Amino acid sequence: MDILASLLDGFGTSLLPLNIAVMIAGVTVGMLIGALPGLGSVNGVAILLPLTFLVPPTSAMIFMAALYYGCMYGDAIASILLGIPGASSAVATTFDGRPMAMSGKAGVALTASAIASFTGGTVSIVLFTVLAPTLADAALAFGPAEEFALVLLAFTTFVALGGQDRFKTVIAICLGLVLSTVGLDMISGQPRLIFGDLPGFYHGISFLVLAIGIYGIGEMLNTIESTRNKVAMVQPRMTLGTVRETLREMRGSIGTLSQGSVLGFFVGTLPAAGATTASLMAYGVAKMTSRHPERFGKGEINGIVAPESANNAASTGSFLPMLTLGIPGSATTALLLGGMVLWGLQPGPMLFIEQPEFTWGLISSLYVSNVFAVIANLAFIPLFCYALRVPFTILAAVIFVLCVVGGYAPSSDMHDVWLMLGFGLAGFVLCRLDYPLAPMVLSMVLGPIMENALRQSLIAGQGTPSLFLERPIALTFILIAVLLFTLPAVKMALANRRPPAPALAEEKA
């Protein structure tokens, strides 16, 4: 009752004309920023933060939250249309989004992603409203040991269900892990793998440089090579009929939607995990529970629904540690936290008590901006689809320019552009040799989190892995991870014992 009253008060704030105006501006700008490969919510928030001095703090925060939301919607657009994830949280969306777009169903894929994002966001805000005070303390129970176990689990859900050549998957993961160790070691401060003394390697290799290189440049080379003279043309259509068609195709997706949304919210509330982990786990779980796992990766609609609902749910969830504890759950919320300090608010456990108008105004605004975001997104889809009708010869040049800009913008360092081109070539070669690239990109994102958490746990356990055994949550996660990892081997062993099955098992392996 108390919560409901506060929420209604909050709507009183968020539905003021000024706040509605900043929400619309926020989601629109955010979506455009998100749609550009290489620019994600972090860049958007960082660039626009200074603009927010023009309005009062609550409106400023509502604008920033709307921008963050819009970016999360927009990220999917680049993933689906170009196959380049705009942010690490949208990597999983490329797995099925790209194949769908290639087979002419870009409109359906984009609509499905918009609807999934909306559902994920909304479910998450409802959970947030109800559970915020309770969950804040629960999230604190997540220490380095739990973080490590969770990331390990996310990794295995994805890899164990990957379906590609296992040996090559392992090699790709190892490559990604090696790349993730480049730069200064967080714990000892020593530089690692900097190739002599190349200053560009000190800040490590950014995920974006690798992703844009592989998915942008590499994929472009691949398309040029495989199509030769006959240019592959995608003819996406987008009418109201597409929305109806999508809804029809999504009829079987309600289970996936709710799984993704709830999973996304809870993973998002954990301070270190975030939207990338959530979207991967959701994809893995969706594939595991699907009646047609073989369709994943080839343009299955649930392969878009799962990660998109999860990453939007997670981005809402990441507001929770920020608002209740003053601890950022992601790079973007860290910037927002900086913004709050800047607007004269003191983030921390007292915020809810001292500034109810601000906190509830913000929470209620999430409901409203989510509605605006889905409307804006659906309205923009025809425009984005139109871009795909451009002949590939022209599109390739545009993608190349976007890639170079996207590689240069975040660090303003030419070093990253050269590196990106190198990754593009390497990605092309690896792709030709049938190495799966997604595990490599993902291990680069998750590698550093895993490494730090593992080392912190081992230090805390004085060099022994005792922490993992003593803590029930961590132990459970690790056991599930081990189980998932060995599952294919067990299945194979069982299949060998029963002669009629092997044909199928081999096909899958």
Partner 1 sequence: MRRDFLKGAVLGAVLLALPGLAHAAEWKPQRPVEMVIMAGQGGGADRLARAIQTMIQKNDLSNMPFLPVNKGGGSGAEALRYLKDKAGDPHVIMATLNSYYTTPLLTPIGVDIAEFVPVARLAVDDFVLWVNADSDIKTLDQYVAAVKKQGRGFKMGGTGTNQEDSLVTAMVERAFKVQHTYVPFQGGGEVAKALLGNHVQASVNNPSEAMQFYKAGKVRPLAVFSEKRLPELPDVPTMRELGHELVYTMQRSFVLPPGTPKEVQAYYVDLFRKVDQHPEWVKYAQNMSLTRDFLAGPELQEAFLRERQQHQDLLATMTASAAN
Residue 410 CA: distances (Å) to CA of 34, 178, 229, 376: 14, 22, 35, 26
Angle subtended at Cα 474 by Cα 469 and Cα 475, rounded to the nearest 5 degrees = 45
Q: For residue 34, give the nearest of 80, 3, 99 by alpha carbon.
A: 80
* Contact assessment for residue 448 and residue 174, using Cβ atoms and an 8 Å cutoff: no
Q: Does 195 bind partner 1 (CB under 8 A)?
A: no
Q: Residue 283 CB, nearest distance to partner 1 (Å)?
A: 28
Would you give the binding string for partner 1 spanning residues 468-487, x where CB under 8 A is met?
A: --------------------
Give the integer Cα–Cα distance in Å for 370 and 14: 13
Looking at the Cβ atoms of 227 and 346, the one nearer to partner 1 is: 346
Q: Residue 192 CB, nearest distance to partner 1 (Å)?
A: 9
Would you give the binding string for partner 1 spanning residues 132-151, x where CB under 8 A is met?
A: --------xxxxx-------
Residue 425 CA: distances (Å) to CA of 107, 420, 472: 30, 9, 45
Looking at the Cβ atoms of 9 and 185, the one nearer to partner 1 is: 185
- Number of Cα atoms under 13 Å in the Cβ half of residue 304: 37
Residue that the structure tokens 């009062």 belong to: 56
Only segment of 98-106, 157-165, 173-181, 319-327 that touches partner 1 (CB under 8 A): 319-327
99, 107, 204, 447: which one contacts partner 1 (CB under 8 A)?
204
Q: Residue 497 CB, nearest distance to partner 1 (Å)?
A: 45
Only segment of 106-114, 169-177, 282-290, 458-466 that touches partner 1 (CB under 8 A): 458-466
Only segment of 16-24, 120-128, 257-265, 320-328 that touches partner 1 (CB under 8 A): 320-328
Would you give the binding string for partner 1 spanning residues 358-397, x where CB under 8 A is met?
A: ----------------------------------------
Looking at the Cβ atoms of 41 and 156, the one nearer to partner 1 is: 41
* Interhelix angle 414-432/392-408, nearest 10 degrees: 130
Looking at the Cβ atoms of 163 and 191, the one nearer to partner 1 is: 191
Residues in Cβ contact with 495 at an 8 Å cutoff, skipping those fewer than 6 apart:
501, 502, 504, 505
Would you give the binding string for partner 1 spanning residues 41-60, x where CB under 8 A is met?
A: -----x---x--x-------
Q: Does 329 bind partner 1 (CB under 8 A)?
A: no
Residue that the structure tokens 């996304």 belong to: 264
Q: Does 197 bind partner 1 (CB under 8 A)?
A: yes
Give the integer Cα–Cα distance in Å for 21 and 44: 18
Looking at the Cβ atoms of 176 and 329, the one nearer to partner 1 is: 329
Instruction: Kindly state the DSSP code that residue 191 receives in the 8-state scheme.
Output: E
- Residues 240 to 279: which contact partner 1 by CB under 8 A? 271
Residues in Cβ contact with 354 at an 8 Å cutoff, skipping those fewer than 6 apart:
346
* Contact assessment for residue 280 and residue 228, using Cβ atoms and an 8 Å cutoff: no
- Coil, strand, or helix at residue 82? coil
Only segment of 213-221, 274-282, 328-336, 487-495 that touches partner 1 (CB under 8 A): 328-336
Looking at the Cβ atoms of 191 and 252, the one nearer to partner 1 is: 191
Write the DSSP assignment of 450-481 as a string of letters: HHHHHHHHHHHTTTSTHHHHH-HHHHHHHHHH
User: What are 61's two structure tokens?
Assistant: 């925060």
Which residues here bind partner 1, judged by CB under 8 A? 46, 50, 53, 140-144, 183-191, 197, 199, 202-204, 271, 325-328, 331, 334, 337-338, 341-343, 346-350, 452, 456, 459-460, 462
